[in-house]
Structure 1
Amino acid sequence: MQHQPDLENKLKVVLCWHMHQPHYRDGEDGVYQLPWVYLHALKDYTDMVWHLEKEPNAKAVVNFAPVLLEQLDEYQQQIHQWLSDGTVMSDPLLNWVSGAESIPDDIEERVKIAEACQKANAATIINIFPAFREMVDLLNDSKLLDDHSHTLMGYLTEQFFVDLLVWYHLAWMGISLRQDDSRIQTLMSKKRAFDEEDRRLLMLIIAEAVGGIIPRYKALQDSGQIEISMTPYGHPIVPLLLDFQSLHEAMPHAPMPSYDQYPGGLERAHWHMKKGIQVTEHYFGKKPKGVWLSEGAVSDAAIDFLDQYDIAWSASGEGVWRHSCEKSHIDQHDLNSKRALYRPMRPTGNKCSLFFRDDGLSDLIGFQYKDWRAEDAVNDFANHLTNIANFVCKDGEQHVVSVILDGENAWEYYPDNAYHFLMALYSKLSDHPRVELSTFSEVLQQGVKPRDLPSIQAGSWVYGSFSTWMGEPDKNKGWDLLVEAKQAYDKKVADGDMTAVQQKQATEQLAICEGSDWFWWFGGYNPSDSVRDFDHLYRSHLRKLYQLLSLESPSSLDQPISFGGGEMENSGTMRRN
């Protein structure tokens, strides 16, 4: 007899937003090379918390990378310091827009400003503001950024660059800030000729917005509306730190780096974990119950590792789920129908439960719905959930759908920073007769029983493998340089001729170098401008490590690792599964 849907048993849905930015300060001069921490703070971290504040019946998990939290804190401190006594900040764009540093006369520096102020999705961030669009059109129509026409930059006034910088920052303001802060509307209505008072007001708005982010998320955590989780400190790929050979579980024929293992990888994974917990506790007041291992990268060894910290849950992608189910000989019907996807799993012998991302639903939000009417997109999403509920919620069984995606980069491609979509999404799901928004910890506490998983096939949320970080010549070269730096670090520590302060500085610098983002960008398929920026930053961080070890950096760090040249979707910041 066919079982009928249990209409009283709601399908639990967890929306998990992953907030992450790598360490953008140049290793050698300490200058922020890219402004994405504070720009995403203004546009996305403010909007995402605002939507939750507006819909108190909604719930979500928000995952913060600790290295992002530290940078948010540093930015708000530096901006407040400048407002207080004029101390120059570490970010060149902020120094120029504030007037802490004058607009340069040097043509090459002016070109840098003009290029930096166009780093945005034009359709949704530049074109919607006519005053901003006119300045960008002037630059492009006159070919002022052409290599052979740089001298024309000298004909533009200093005021032009001030106005361009102010508009770039106004355009990155989130919808919530524009709606709630009349000062932003006042600045926008002025359109041109921004003066010293206007620029100072803009910096005050930025300081308040960035400084309010962590307290606002903490307030929602403390009220029980959201769950805060974390990644290990520097966002490393933990399974690869533990064992390079885990690459071959999903890609048995992929070429390896020149070295068989990362030296002392287990010790380094523990360092990132302990430091991550320390930072998260500092900002949010308690140890997180869940850990999104960087990039959803899991393995049997990585889950054993999490058990040592009494972590209740972790999560990965649908590719890892499928490969692991096949390896564990899970019932083929449950696999083909995806029924098994909607229960957490617990690897045999472990305490930590695993949730698995519904790639289809997550990628609809990440990539497809930006082109839909918000109402149609939300109705479509809700219909998918209703169909899942009708299929799996039978005979009292409880199930959960995990929707996990980047919490910052997707919205740039939506009209109005996804304002209409997110408002409708939270409203619809908070009042849905078949759906209950929850968090991963609540799901476990409320009786959704994890299913036994005999074995994990190592992989990440991207393609169910580690191909985005290892197994390709440029990526492997990046690992070789890191291993050599780690060997130099180990020898210096073993020699015992560093002070405690020097060793602490070197250890923290090593953690930055171990982050996943550098390897993400290496490869010919990524946009060349982004590859150049991250290649430069990575080698700068490695050179800084050698400097802190009082060693000369190898000449190999003077040569680019990767050049890119591809055209990836969403500028390469996200991957579709």
Structure 2
Amino acid sequence: MSDKPLRLVLCWHMHQPEYRDTQTGEFKLPWTYLHVIKDYVDMAAHLEAEPLAKAVVNFAPILLEQIEDYSNQVNSFLQDRIGIKDPLLAALVEPGVSANPEHRLKLLHDCRKANRERQIDRYPAFRKLTEMAEWIQLHHDAINYVNAQFLTDIVVWYHLVWMGETVKLTDSRVQRLIEKGGGFSLHDRIEILEIIRDLLSKVIYRYKSLARKGRIELSVTPYAHPIMPLMLDLNSAREAMPDIQMPMLVEYPGGAERVRWHLHKGVQTFRHFFGFEPKGCWPSEGSISEATLKVLSEFGFSWTASGGNVLHNSLRASDPTAPGSVHHPFRLDSTSINCFFRDDGLSDLIGFEYSKWHADDAVADLIQHLENIADVATAGSVVSIIMDGENAWEYFPRNGYHFLSALYQRLASHPRIELTTFSECIEQNLPVMPLRKLVAGSWVYGTFSTWIGDADKNYGWDMLGDVKKAFDKVVSHGTLAEHHLALAEQQLAVCEGSDWFWWFGDYNPGEAVSDFEQQYRLNLTNLYRLLGEEPPSYLALSFTQGSGAPAMGGAMRRGNAIF
């Protein structure tokens, strides 16, 4: 047992894929702005409220760009009435309601995409509107008899329930509109858009300010969130899963060059928004391999991180009898980068269990686990809790407000636990454990099974391989103008993002699978058109359909598989 406090790093990963149709600029799905007004502002507010708290906050660069785009669009609408290119957000302030029955039905459908227990049932007025919308969805002809006020009220309420808890507690405009309950006017709708404008325009600065004050460390992910080990070597998937079924694609063409492109573009984008270069990189989905760590070292990152099962697999491969704890930084031979590993058990408790507990009990339980670790920890031990920063909280009462408030307060004042950051751990010269071998994998189960191996995921890789070969051929001919080449490179990056593969396959719910596979096919189609090539006919056809009902709607995974 060490006589010094146990170091604890809370690392929150903020990430949304590219939801825009890059040819039209239209947002096909609204999750970026909805998570801004609910989760990203709340997470900043909790850190601002506790002066002694510290955390690492990781941003995907492509998310930062979308936040900026939304902010600019909302400002342009409020100042010059230039249209907003997100159908749901635009519906909030349209002076009239579409007479098209299909548009009306889609609006009602979209305004039901919220957590039933925590968002819909919490507000009787919205619950009643939702129940009416559900009945109308079962009796489509009834949409012709729905008046504009009903549609207005359900759109307004949808945006109110997606507001962060810290916003609801501090913004008198939100409080007044919730109290009003219905009969919302165009003035009310414009007021909500002004609230959204304020949240969008300030959220990135709030994190930048916290970093400037030393309250958080900001880190980065490769630009469009690709799975770097698979781009470098598809067969790295076999290291943790020797019997995995692989795509027809043998290797991703020019993968090493593309990985470096994403890292360079990611750092460049990060610097644009925050004014400095990050010291750390949370690789997309904590996915690492020996080749990946070498590339990250080339870029000068001092730390990276992954899942606990990656470490366990690696230690077993090096020496099956060697003990190993995730509560230390490690360094792979021949690299200069420190690698921290996620405590999967503690992280999954927050992500999947504590939402069902009373907040005080949940925090007490987590602290008891940390105290138990401190009882046996050696000098220099550090616990890494690494989590999705947005998707867990809708399952907690009041968006996790009571849990997060109590968590930061109790940890900040705990005599045996020290909140810190990965860079501070390195600066304090903590003992770094040697790692002779690294078995490639991600934070999910320690494998890449979430992104490759399933028949539909493999087909997605084959389609990506096809468009990359078309890209390489056109580039080699030198027929693309410089501007069009830059657009094509950007579009290729979007296609290389990990999220499309996450959702492919039967495990996931059907509607989410449909949304993401349509977006993926659109992304590939847009790239072919930028290249001046005819898109393959298979891109007109759906290729994957989900039928599952995974925990938390499939937006999150546990670090350890449950059988």
> Which TM-score tier does this pair reach, normalised by the shorter chain?
over 0.9
The residue number in structure 1 matching 2:442 is 460
Q: Give unmatched runs, 5+ long, in structure 2.
A: none
* TM-score normalised by length of structure 2: 0.98
The residue number in structure 2 matching 1:170 is 160
Amino acid at match of 1:366: G
**Are 1:323 and 2:318 an aligned pair?**
no
**Are 1:75 and 2:70 an aligned pair?**
yes
Q: Structure 2 residue aligned with 1:388, among 373, 378, 394?
A: 373
Post-superposition Cα deviations, 1:298-325, rounded to whole Å, max 9, x if no partner, equal: 0000000001111000000011010011
The residue number in structure 1 matching 2:32 is 37
**Are 1:372 and 2:357 an aligned pair?**
yes
Q: Structure 2 residue aligned with 1:567, among 544, 549, 556?
A: 549
The residue number in structure 2 matching 1:444 is 426
**Are 1:91 and 2:86 an aligned pair?**
yes
Post-superposition Cα deviations, 1:327-355, rounded to whole Å, max 9, x if no partner, equal: 121753x33xxxx2111000011110100
In structure 2, C-alpha distance between the alignment counterparts of 1:492 and 1:116, rounded to whole Å: 39
Corresponding residue SS for 1:460 = coil
Amino acid at match of 2:338: S
The residue number in structure 2 matching 1:548 is 530
Q: Structure 2 residue aligned with 1:405, among 387, 390, 395?
A: 387
Post-superposition Cα deviations, 1:348-377, rounded to whole Å, max 9, x if no partner, equal: 111101000000000000000000011111
Corresponding residue SS for 2:548 = coil
In structure 1, C-alpha distance between the alignment counterparts of 2:370 and 2:429, rounded to whole Å: 20
Q: Structure 2 residue aligned with 1:348, among 313, 326, 333?
A: 333
The residue number in structure 2 matching 1:362 is 347
Corresponding residue SS for 1:61 = strand
Q: Structure 1 residue runs of 4+, over 4 Å off?
A: none
Amino acid at match of 2:37: L
Corresponding residue SS for 1:267 = helix
Residue pair 1:27, 1:542 contacting (<8 A) in 2 also = no
Post-superposition Cα deviations, 1:432-453, rounded to whole Å, max 9, x if no partner, equal: 1110000000011112121110
The residue number in structure 1 matching 2:110 is 116
Post-superposition Cα deviations, 1:19-41, rounded to whole Å, max 9, x if no partner, equal: 00000112454321111000000
Query: Identity across aligned pairs (percent)?
Result: 48
Report deviation, 1:203.
0.5
Q: Structure 2 residue aligned with 1:129, among 123, 127, 133?
A: 123
Amino acid at match of 1:163: D
**Are 1:24 and 2:19 an aligned pair?**
yes
Amino acid at match of 2:215: Q
In structure 1, C-alpha distance between the alignment counterparts of 2:361 and 2:191, rounded to whole Å: 39
Report deviation, 1:421.
0.3
* TM-score normalised by length of structure 1: 0.96
In structure 2, C-alpha distance between the alignment counterparts of 1:467 and 1:547, rounded to whole Å: 31
Post-superposition Cα deviations, 1:156-205, rounded to whole Å, max 9, x if no partner, equal: 10111011000000110001111111011111111111111111111000
The residue number in structure 2 matching 1:277 is 267
Post-superposition Cα deviations, 1:216-243, rounded to whole Å, max 9, x if no partner, equal: 0000000001000010000000000000
Amino acid at match of 1:36: W
Q: Which has the larger displacement, 21-30 or 483-492?
A: 21-30
Report deviation, 1:249.
0.3
Corresponding residue SS for 1:342 = coil
Q: Structure 2 residue aligned with 1:210, among 189, 193, 200?
A: 200
In structure 1, C-alpha distance between the alignment counterparts of 2:253 and 2:132, rounded to whole Å: 53
In structure 2, C-alpha distance between the alignment counterparts of 1:123 and 1:306, rounded to whole Å: 42
In structure 1, C-alpha distance between the alignment counterparts of 2:485 and 2:507, rounded to whole Å: 37
**Are 1:496 and 2:478 an aligned pair?**
yes
Q: CA RMSD in A?
A: 0.9
In structure 1, C-alpha distance between the alignment counterparts of 2:199 and 2:504, rounded to whole Å: 33
The residue number in structure 2 matching 1:307 is 297
The residue number in structure 2 matching 1:199 is 189
The residue number in structure 2 matching 1:60 is 55
In structure 1, C-alpha distance between the alignment counterparts of 2:200 and 2:432, rounded to whole Å: 39
Report deviation, 1:46.
0.4
- 1:485-524 maps to which residues of 2 (within 5 A)? 485-524=467-506
Q: Would you say how many aligned residue pairs link Structure 1 and Structure 2?
A: 559
In structure 2, C-alpha distance between the alignment counterparts of 1:189 and 1:169, rounded to whole Å: 14
Q: Give unmatched runs, 5+ long, in structure 1.
A: none
Post-superposition Cα deviations, 1:432-485, rounded to whole Å, max 9, x if no partner, equal: 111000000001111212111011000000010000000111000000000000
